A and B are shown apart, each in its own frame.
Chain A
Amino acid sequence: EAQVTQNPRYLITVTGKKLTVTCSQNMNHEYMSWYRQDPGLGLRQIYYSMNVEVTDKGDVPEGYKVSRKEKRNFPLILESPSPNQTSLYFCASSLGLSAGDTQYFGPGTRLTVL
């Protein structure tokens, strides 16, 4: 089954404790992206990757890191989480980013930073 998976689905942590949220897709997609969703703010893009070893900042990259060592995986790293990073995070992938390309979203990771 074609899908995007994220782990963990729920995470409660404390300020400053490094964490990684994994994202994997089995559709051989070139483009992968991370979003955060907050009430009243919609979905905001954190980072995206056009291909292996190619990543770039989205609209809200501060406090986050990503890597794209393999095509299928795109982990999101919070080196020193803070309470303002409490949010619902979605990973997404698409074949490309041109006309006709659909973004497929993972199930989401709800992160709480105390």
Chain B
Amino acid sequence: GQQVMQIPQYQHVQEGEDFTTYCNSSTTLSNIQWYKQRPGGHPVFLIQLVKSGEVKKQKRLTFQFGEAKKNSSLHITATQTTDVGTYFCAGPAGGYQKVTFGIGTKLQVIP
């Protein structure tokens, strides 16, 4: 079945440093979604990418979808303590009805 790999699993950064998490799928994705889960909270939708090579920005967050639609990345510029949490990528699988999540990247920001 489809696998979605996400790296790194953990990342500690000093406040103000940049952060990137990468997502790789074993199969081509029709779209990819990114979610953020704060400590003790539930996943919250951030963005969806659909087109090959697509780049979207949300303030300090930049999301990219690879040309082959098998990989994606989330880059945070100048991290802040409010960025702390676990970031997940997710893609449809099994005829676009099932959803596969990456294992997530847990980000710690050191003030």
Contacts and interface: CB of A to CB of B under 8 A. Distances in A.
Interface size class of A (residues with CB under 8 A): 20 to 34
Contacts of B63: none
A74 interface: no
Interface string B74-111: 00000000000000101010001111111110000000
Contacts of B9: 40
Given A43-B43, A105-B42, A105-B43, A50 B48 contact: no
Contact of A33 (B48, B99, B104): B99
A102 B48 contact: yes
Contact of B45 (A33, A45, A102): A102
A45 B96 CA distance: 13
B42 A42 contact: no
Interface residues of B, number: 26
A32 B9 CA distance: 27
A98 interface: yes
Given A48-B97, A99-B31, A102-B48, A107 B102 contact: no
A4 to B, nearest CB: 9
12 contacts: A40-B9, A40-B103, A42-B102, A43-B101, A48-B97, A48-B99, A50-B97, A58-B99, A92-B43, A102-B48, A103-B33, A105-B42
